[in-house]
Structure 1
C-alpha cells in the first residue's frame, strides 16, 4: 500500500493563520527558527491522531494571536483512491470531517485505523518516533515480520547429543511444556538426592559401627537344626513320661479321696446302726401301733443295707484303682529336662550369632540399595539438568538464528534481540546500535540516518509506503533516499518560511 500526501491546509494552527502545502515526491521546507516548520510536521499527526510527531498530547491553538476555530485538512492518496480528512477545534470541542462531511469521533478514528496501524504509520512518517516506544513494543513491531525458525532448523545447528535428545522429546511435548516438566522434576530430584545421600551416609555409618562376623553361617544353621532335632526327640520322651506321671498323680488323688470317703462312711454307719426307732409319732406324739413300729424297723434295715452296698462299692473302686496304680511306675525326667535346657541355651547362642550375621548382611544390603537409589536419583537429576541445558542451548541457537534473520534486513544498524544471563538462560531484549554505539548515544545526524534505515526496513517488511518527514535535516550532509515521499525541514538563518516541491520526472 502506498500513501501519498497531496495537499495540507492549516487554519489557525499554532503560528499558521492560513497555510496551504502542496506536496511533491520531494518537499523541502526551509526557514529560520520559530517560522513554523515543525508545526507543519505536527499538524499531520494532530489531524490523524490528535498528538504531536512523537505521540504526545498537543495543543494546536494559536500562539501569538486569537482565533475562534483551528482547522487542519489533508488530502491523502492511498494507492489510487483519494480521501480528504479534516480535524478542527472550536471552543474546546473537537470536530471531524471525512471528505468534507462532518463525522463523529468514532467514525473518524475507525476510518484511520482501517487505513493503517498507528504505531507503524508514525514510525514510517517520523524516523525518530520508533525510538520513543518501549523496547518491548519496538521488538514486537520488528519481529512480527520475522517468523521464528522451525525446530528442525534450530536442531541441526545444535550438538548431536542434545539435538537427538530434544528431537525425540519434542514429538510429545512443546519446548515450554518440556521446560516446566523438567524444571519441576529437577527441583524434586534436588531434594530427593539430598535425602538419598543422607540415608546412604546414615546406613553406612551404622554398618561401620558393626564388626562383620567371620562365621560359617551354613554350618551354624546346620548345627541349630541338629540341636532342634535333639530337643524334639528328648521332648517326645519327657512328654510320654509326663503323661504317665500325670496319670499316677490322678490315681493317687482319686484313691485318697475314696479312702477319705470310706473313713467318713464308717462313722456314718455307726450312727445309722445305733439310730433308735421312735415308738411315738413325731407329729401328733401318739404311740405307734405294731404295724407302724414294724415298718419303721424295716425302713432302718433297708437303709443299712443300702449304706453297706454303697460302702462296698467305694471299697471295690478303691481297690480297682490301687491295682491300676500298682501297674504304673513314676518316671524321673529331671535329667532329660536339664538336657533340654542345656541344648536350648546352646541353640540360643548359635541363633544369636546367626542373627548378628543376618543383621550385618541386611544392613549391607540396605547400604547397597540406598547407594543404588542415590545413584538412580542422581541420574534422573542429571537427565533433567541435561534437558534444561539443552533447552537453553536450543533457545540460544533459536535466538541467534532469529537475530541473524532480523540483522539481514539492515546494512548499517546492529540489532540486539536477546541477551544471555549468567545462568545460561536467554532473556528477550532490544537495542539498536550503529558503529558499536547504542541509539541513545548517537549524534543528531547519526540518529537521523539510523531512523531512516529502520523505517525503510519497516516499510519494506510491512509493504506500507508512507511519506517521511526529516526534521533538522541541516544537521546531516547526506543520507540514503528513503522509500516514499520525502519531506525535509531545514533551518536557514534569517529566512522566512519557504516550501518547495519537486515531482518525479
Structure 2
C-alpha cells in the first residue's frame, strides 16, 4: 500500500494568495466567506504537478487583482515516509522546475511526477468530483482495471447445460469473438442457401408428382427384354452370316463379269490376227523379200496366233471355274430377316418405355431425396449457428452479470451499471452509470454527490492500494459522511469570516 501525505504547501502570488503557507495535518479545515481563496489552495497542487486545475483543465495561476513578477507553488510531501519537495515557478510566462530544491528540466520534473502518481488515479483520489467529469468509457476503464473479468469457465458454469456444452467445446479452439464471426458468416450464407434448398426440393417434388405412376414388375420386364434382345442378336447373327455369303456370291459374280469383258475384247482381236496378210516385200523400203524372210514372217504369225489362243483359252477356263464356284454359292434375301428383327425389336418398345419411365422416376426420386437431405443439413447448420449466436448472447449477458456483481461487491451504497441492453437486438453493450438510491450522479444533490464521490474514491484507494489526501469542497452542504482513508482537506463557507486554515491531528 503506497501512502502519500502532504506536509507543507507554499503559495506565492498564486491567484489571490500573495504569500501563504499551509501546514497539513490528518485533517485540514479551510473556512471563510466566499471569494476568500479557499478552493484556490487545493487547486494549486494539481497546477504544481500537472499545470491544470483540480478537474484537469487549463489554469491561469497568475494574480488577477495585483501584479507580480513570478508565481510559485511549493509542496513538501512524503511517499511511504520518504520526503519529496517539488516546486513550480512561473516567470514572465516561462515555467521553472525544482526537484528537492535542485533546478530541473521539465522532462525530469514530469518523469518524477509520473513515477510518484498515476495522473487519472491522483485526480480521482484527490478530488471526489473529478471521476464524474470523465467520459463514461474512461470511468468504466478505471473501475474495471481493478476487477478481473469472469473466466470462461465461470460463465459457462451458470449457462444452461446445452449452451455451456456447445460453447465449451468451441472455446477450446477459438475466442468468443472469433466464434461469433464464424457463425454470423455461416448464418448469412445458410439463410440464402436454405431458401435455395427449399426451392429446389419443392421444384423436384412437383416434377416427381407430374410423372405417371410407375407400378410395374421391373424384374419381369428386364427378363422379358433380355429374351427379346437375345432373339434380336440371334437374327442379327443370321443376317450377318447371310450378308457374308452374299458378299462371296457378289465377289465371284463380279470376277466372272470382269473375265467376260476380257474375253469379249480378246474375240475382237482374233479376226485381225487371223486375217493378217503376209507381205512379200519390205514395208519400209518396198524391196522384195527372199523366201527365207517370207517364211520367217509366216512362222511369227503362227506363233502369235498360238499365244493368242492360249491366253483366250485361259480366260475361258477361269470363267468356267468361277461359274462352277458360283453354282455352289447361294444369294440369300436378307430383307425378310431384317423385317423379323424390326418386328421383334418393336415388341420390346413398350417394355423399354416402361423401364425408361421407371428409371426416370427413380433418378428424380434420388434427386428429391438428395435435395431433402441437403435442405435438412442446411437447416441444421443454420439452426446450429442461430443456437450458437444465441448462446453467445446468453454468455455475454451472464458475463456482464458476473462482472457487474464483482464490481458491485466493491461498493456499499452506490449501484454500478456496466452494460446496457440494446432494444433492437438484445445485445449487451458496454456502458457505465453510477447511481445512488436509484438516481444517476447527474441528478444527485450536492451532498449526495459528495458522498457518492467519497465512496467511489475509497473503492479506488483500496483497489489501487494508494492512500492519498482528499479535498472536499463545499463541505458545508454535507452534515455527515464517512471519514475517508488518508488526509482530509475540507473547505467550508462561513459567512463574514476571513480565510482560516486549521490543522487537526488525530
2:433 matched to which residue of 1?
A: 431
2:72 matched to which residue of 1?
A: 71
Whether the 8 Å contact between 1:61 and 1:70 is mirrored in structure 2 is yes
Q: CA deviation at 1:167?
A: 2.3
2:31 matched to which residue of 1?
A: 30
Structure 2: any 5+ residue segments left out of the alignment?
none
1:458 aligned onto 2:460: yes
> Greater CA deviation, 347-356 or 82-91?
347-356
Shift of the 435–279 alpha-carbon distance from structure 1 to 2, 3 Å rule, reads farther
1:247 aligned onto 2:243: no
Q: CA deviation at 1:280?
A: 4.7
Structure 1: any 5+ residue segments left out of the alignment?
none
1:259 matched to which residue of 2?
A: 260
> Greater CA deviation, 454-463 or 287-296?
287-296
Shift of the 35–315 alpha-carbon distance from structure 1 to 2, 3 Å rule, reads same
1:228 aligned onto 2:226: no
Q: CA deviation at 1:472?
A: 1.2
2:502 matched to which residue of 1?
A: 500
1:104 matched to which residue of 2?
A: 105
Q: CA deviation at 1:73?
A: 0.6
1:381 aligned onto 2:346: no
Which of 485, 490, 493 is the matching residue for 1:491? Answer: 493
> Greater CA deviation, 48-57 or 295-304?
295-304
2:118 matched to which residue of 1?
A: 117
Secondary structure at the aligned position of 1:192 is classed as helix
Whether the 8 Å contact between 1:69 and 1:90 is mirrored in structure 2 is yes
Distance 1:346 1:119 in 2: 100
Shift of the 279–443 alpha-carbon distance from structure 1 to 2, 3 Å rule, reads farther
2:58 matched to which residue of 1?
A: 57
Which of 478, 485, 505 is the matching residue for 2:480? Answer: 478
Shift of the 132–289 alpha-carbon distance from structure 1 to 2, 3 Å rule, reads farther
Whether the 8 Å contact between 1:47 and 1:73 is mirrored in structure 2 is yes
Shift of the 88–281 alpha-carbon distance from structure 1 to 2, 3 Å rule, reads farther
Shift of the 230–92 alpha-carbon distance from structure 1 to 2, 3 Å rule, reads same
Q: CA deviation at 1:287?
A: 4.5
Q: CA deviation at 1:370?
A: 0.7
Whether the 8 Å contact between 1:212 and 1:357 is mirrored in structure 2 is no
Q: CA deviation at 1:145?
A: 1.0
Q: CA deviation at 1:296?
A: 2.9
2:399 matched to which residue of 1?
A: 398
How many residues in Structure 1 have an aligned counterpart in Structure 2? 504
Q: CA deviation at 1:113?
A: 0.4
Q: CA deviation at 1:165?
A: 2.4
Distance 2:17 2:289 in 1: 171
Whether the 8 Å contact between 1:154 and 1:401 is mirrored in structure 2 is yes
Q: CA deviation at 1:385?
A: 2.0
Shift of the 82–315 alpha-carbon distance from structure 1 to 2, 3 Å rule, reads same
1:27-426 aligned at under 5 Å gives the runs 27-281=28-282, 286-421=287-422, 422-426=424-428
Shift of the 257–12 alpha-carbon distance from structure 1 to 2, 3 Å rule, reads same
> Greater CA deviation, 218-227 or 236-245?
236-245
Distance 2:212 2:472 in 1: 91
Q: Deviations over 1:357-391 (max 9, x none)?
A: 11111101110111011101111222222222222
Q: CA deviation at 1:58?
A: 0.8
> Greater CA deviation, 257-266 or 79-88?
257-266
Whether the 8 Å contact between 1:200 and 1:371 is mirrored in structure 2 is yes
Distance 1:68 1:280 in 2: 169
Q: Deviations over 1:392-411 (max 9, x none)?
A: 21221111111101101111
Q: Deviations over 1:7-39 (max 9, x none)?
A: 111111111111111111111111122111111
Which of 437, 454, 471 is the matching residue for 1:469? Answer: 471
Q: CA deviation at 1:130?
A: 0.6
Q: Deviations over 1:157-207 (max 9, x none)?
A: 111122222223323333233223333332332232222222212212222
Shift of the 481–255 alpha-carbon distance from structure 1 to 2, 3 Å rule, reads same
Shift of the 460–273 alpha-carbon distance from structure 1 to 2, 3 Å rule, reads same
Distance 1:122 1:279 in 2: 159
> Greater CA deviation, 113-122 or 476-485?
476-485
CA RMSD of aligned residues (A): 1.7
Shift of the 455–268 alpha-carbon distance from structure 1 to 2, 3 Å rule, reads same
Q: CA deviation at 1:279?
A: 4.5
Q: Deviations over 1:220-271 (max 9, x none)?
A: 2222111111111112222222222222222222222222221221111111
> Greater CA deviation, 30-39 or 100-109?
30-39
Q: Deviations over 1:458-482 (max 9, x none)?
A: 0011100111011111221211111
Secondary structure at the aligned position of 1:37 is classed as coil
Secondary structure at the aligned position of 1:10 is classed as strand
Distance 2:343 2:314 in 1: 50
Secondary structure at the aligned position of 2:402 is classed as helix
1:16 matched to which residue of 2?
A: 17
Q: Deviations over 1:85-140 (max 9, x none)?
A: 11111111111111111111110010000011000000000001111111111111
